[in-house]
Copies of this chain bind each other. A is one copy, B any other.
Amino acid sequence: MNDTAPLDLARLRRSCSQCSLQQLCLPAGISGPELERLDDIVRRRRTIGRGERLFRIGDALSSVYVARDGAFKTVSLSEDGEEQVLGFHLAGELIGLDALGEGVHRCEAIALGDANVCEVPFDQLTDIATQLPGLQHQLLRVIGHSLNRDHDHMGMLVRRQANERIALFLHGLTERFRQIGQSPIAFKLPMSREDVARYLGLALETVSRGFTRLQEDAVISVHGRRVEILNGEELVRLAHGVEADQTSRARRAR
């Protein structure tokens, strides 16, 4: 899949203590010998190909995962078999918490491209969390962030119109890219228009039109999945329901 295996291997061997995601991930807030104990249970370097699944609906909760690089979507299936996208997971974000309630996964985690993840056996994680209060605290924090993302997601879905949702979505992405140290103003979307649509509760055509419109208004530039943010402030305004300004409207009127 990749001819730079030796190099990757070296990078992948890094322990939690050396990982660039440390501050976002479970190790935040613990250190020294405690970190080593966490390190021991983390099975690193699981590579996942595009379209592969970390787990499926109905699978027992065995591990939680942290995307190390690459991106994932979690989807649930409605009675008629349609995918609904519950969330996107970028580097450093925990995947698999959906099984916390009943111990069985309620959604599927699908790699949006080639990716690799840290796999953390859940029983062992909770085990050592009882012994390391700092880890328990951080685990709760990470779960909390997941809850927050869900709430933000709902905020996009409720009583906002299509262009607003799309602006919110793009704005949220830039913030997350910034957090993990990637460029927040020029990036490649890891997901398809259809995925975005199923995430935002819109038809994929509407998403496409929304992107086009943002480009017409000179807020972003889009070429397929390549997106560049040209006017971040305007993006934020649009995300909060402000109509596009006069010049943009004039441009569209032509």
A119 to chain B, nearest CB (A): 18
**Alpha-carbon separation in the docked complex, A151 to B129 (Å):** 26
Which of the residues B86, B133, B159, B198 comes within 8 Å of A151, measured between beta carbons? B86
Inter-chain contacts of A124 with B (CB < 8 A): none
Cβ contacts under 8 Å, A131 to chain B: 130
Q: Mark A131-143, 1 if CB is under 8 A from B, else 0.
A: 1010011001101
Q: Which residues of B contact A100 (CB under 8 A)?
A: 140-141, 143-144, 147
Query: Which residue on chain B has the smallest CB distance to residue A82?
Result: B159
Q: Mark A141-169, 1 if CB is under 8 A from B, else 0.
A: 10111111011011101110000000000
Q: Which residues in chain A, 150-201, are within 8 Å of chain B measured between CB atoms?
A: 150-151, 153-155, 157-159, 198, 201
Q: How far is the CB of A210 from chain B (nearest CB, A)?
A: 16
Write out the residue numbers on chain B whose beta carbons fall within 8 Å of the beta carbon of A86. 151, 154
Identical copies of this chain, number: 2
**Contact A151–B201 (Cβ < 8 Å):** no
Q: Does A3 contact B (CB under 8 A)?
A: no
Count contacts on A: residues with CB < 8 A to the other chain.
44
Knowing A144-B99, A154-B84, A201-B159, say if A126 contacts B137 (CB, 8 Å): yes
**B residues in contact with A140, CB < 8 Å:** 100, 126
Per the 8 Å Cβ criterion, residues 65-124 of A in contact with B are 76, 78-80, 82, 84, 86, 97-102, 106-107
Residues of B contacting A148 with CB < 8 Å?
98, 101-102, 106
Report the Cα distance A141→B106, complex, angstroms: 14
Kindly identify which residue among B84, B159, B241 contacts A159, using a CB–CB cutoff of 8 Å.
B84
Contact (Cβ within 8 A) A107 B151? yes
A94 CB to nearest B CB, Å: 12
Asked if A240 is at the interface (CB within 8 A of a chain B CB), the reply is: yes
A to B CB contacts below 8 Å, 5 in the list: A84-B159, A101-B141, A130-B130, A150-B154, A159-B198
* Interface residues in chain A, defined as those with a beta carbon under 8 Å from any beta carbon in chain B: 76, 78-80, 82, 84, 86, 97-102, 106-107, 126-127, 129-131, 133, 136-137, 140-141, 143-148, 150-151, 153-155, 157-159, 198, 201-202, 240-241
